[in-house]
């Protein structure tokens, strides 16, 4: 695949944004290597990329004022929808019904910009809402088995000629070694500073706990937003469901407590047999970091200690998978702009030297 005249790009981060960006870059004709210390399939991968091990569904966090994030999310939904229709089994993405409840809705939630993006959107009548809920939406969306989906992305990337290189890094610039001739980097890591500068501090820590339960009777996703947390139920193709909670403050809740709370919003969970009838297959607790003011998708140009001008295209700080195709599409556009800039700079230096 590496036959194009376009240069080599190093992508830092073996997560969904790293693989999606890398795939789109290869389609543009770039030679792409993903560099990371851990890759999907490693025994300790989930410990280093916790957000890529938590099941999800498409849900936007974009406000009505954030046109860029809206575009990322809408573009991504279209791609996920197409994958669910033609590659559901391989990619781990399925189409499903979703109920979203709000205890204290904001103006954005009362008038969601995305109501024309998803099929079948409707506002639930007040008399049909669970107790304590002020607003509810029902719509059709995509449900993502993140572990399977990430493996599918990795397979696509490698089959297209992409390369992986394992490397321990303390900063992004560690990917530029003495033997490297790369001048373009795409940064998809949430955990590494660029150089000797401090790590991006505009982030917050999210604490998550979830349980995988055998419950083939559940055919819908349920999400509940409260003031302090987010509760969710996501069904999967194998008859299991993932039940969990996310908070900004660390919390410790046992399975019975969490499942009892979720049964208030999804009575089908116990099927009238009580909590003791539920078979808990797996459980896990994770932490993740997200940027307070949304993802960072932009170019940055720096000069290395060796005097080389380098472009870094940032594509990190996302909360979930819902922006992955849209933001990566934007990142590729930024890489093209950076390449044109570096090429022009190189030509101007050549012209200067030719005058000697």
All structural domains of the chain: 1-55+146-200+293-356 (3.40.50.720)
In angstroms, rounded to a whole number, what is the distance separating the alpha carbons of residues 266 and 245? 15
Q: Which of 337, 335, 318, 338 is nearest to 76 (CA)?
A: 318
DSSP state of 65: T
> Whole-angstrom Cα distance, residue 230 to residue 225?
5
At 180 the pLDDT is 65
Rounded CA Rg of the chain: 22
94-141-48 Cα angle (round to 5): 70
- Cα 8 to Cα 33, 37, 178, 285, 290: the distances in Å are 8, 20, 15, 38, 29
Tokens of residue 191, six digits: 């955990």
**Successive 10-residue mean pLDDT values, the chain, 356 residues:** 75 96 97 95 78 72 94 97 96 95 96 97 97 97 93 98 94 77 90 73 81 90 92 91 88 84 89 76 83 90 84 93 96 97 76 63
Decide: pTM greater than 0.85: yes
Cross-strand partners of 57: 143
From residue 204, alpha-carbon distances to 58, 104, 317 in Å are 21, 22, 10
Q: Kindly list the distances between the CA atom of residue 169 and the CA atoms of 48, 68, 136, 233, 245, in Å, as whole numbers in the listed order.
A: 13, 31, 45, 36, 32
Tokens of 52: 């890529």
Name residues whose C-beta falls within 8 Å of residue 99's C-beta, 6 or more positions apart in sequence.
124, 136, 137, 138, 220, 221, 222, 223, 265
Q: Token digits for 180?
A: 């490297």
Query: CB–CB of 207/247 below 8 Å?
Result: yes
- CA distances (Å), origin 130, targets 127, 136, 177: 8, 9, 58
**Which residues have a Cβ under 8 Å from the Cβ of 205 and sit 6 or more positions away?**
248, 287, 288, 289
Helix, strand or coil, per DSSP, at residue 164: strand
User: Per DSSP, which regions of the chain are E strands?
Assistant: 8-12, 31-36, 56-57, 93-102, 122-123, 135-144, 163-166, 184-187, 203-214, 220-225, 229-235, 240-247, 279-291, 296-303, 309-316
Q: What is the model's pLDDT at position 4?
A: 61
Closest CA to 312 of 197, 162, 152, 165: 197
* Per-residue pLDDT at 67: 95
**CA gap 234, 5 in Å, rounded:** 44
**Long-range Cβ pairs for the range 251-256 (8 Å, 24+):** 251/207, 251/209, 253/209, 255/211, 255/280, 255/283
Measured at the alpha carbon of residue 121, what is the angle toward residues 120 and 123, in degrees to the nearest 5?
135
SS3 content of the chain, % helix, strand, coil (to 5): 35, 30, 35
């Amino acid at each position: 695949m590496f036959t194009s005249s376009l240069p080599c790009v190093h992508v830092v981060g073996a997560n969904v944004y790293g693989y999606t960006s890398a795939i789109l870059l290869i389609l543009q004709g770039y030679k792409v290597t993903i560099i990371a210390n851990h890759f999907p399939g490693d025994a300790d991968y989930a410990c280093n990329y916790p957000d890529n091990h938590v099941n999800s569904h498409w849900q936007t966090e974009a406000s009505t004022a954030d046109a860029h994030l809206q575009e990322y999310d809408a573009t991504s939904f279209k791609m996920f929808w197409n994958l669910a229709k033609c590659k559901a089994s391989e990619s781990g993405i399925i189409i499903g019904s979703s109920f979203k409840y709000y205890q204290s809705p904001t103006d954005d939630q009362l008038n969601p910009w995305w109501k024309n993006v998803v099929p079948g959107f409707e506002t639930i009548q007040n008399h049909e809402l669970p107790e304590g809920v002020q607003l509810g939406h029902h719509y059709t969306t995509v449900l993502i088995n993140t572990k399977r989906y990430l493996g599918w992305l990795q397979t696509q990337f490698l089959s297209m000629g992409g390369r992986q290189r394992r490397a321990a890094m303390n900063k992004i610039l560690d990917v530029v070694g003495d033997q490297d001739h790369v001048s373009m980097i795409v940064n998809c890591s949430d955990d590494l500073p660029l150089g000797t500068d401090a790590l991006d501090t505009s982030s917050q820590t999210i604490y998550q706990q979830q349980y995988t339960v055998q419950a083939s009777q559940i055919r819908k996703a349920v999400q509940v937003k409260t003031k302090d947390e987010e509760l969710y139920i996501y069904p999967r193709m194998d008859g299991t469901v993932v039940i969990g909670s996310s908070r900004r403050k660390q919390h410790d809740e046992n399975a019975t407590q969490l499942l009892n709370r979720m049964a208030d919003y999804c009575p089908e969970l116990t099927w009238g047999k009580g909590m003791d009838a539920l078979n808990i297959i797996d459980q896990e607790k994770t932490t993740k970091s997200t940027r307070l003011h949304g993802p960072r998708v932009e170019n940055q140009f720096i000069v290395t200690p060796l005097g080389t001008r380098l472009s870094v295209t940032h594509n990190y700080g996302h909360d979930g998978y819902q922006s992955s195709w849209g933001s990566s599409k934007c990142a590729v556009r930024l890489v093209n702009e950076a390449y044109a800039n570096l090429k022009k700079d190189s030509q101007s230096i050549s012209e200067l030297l030719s005058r000697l």
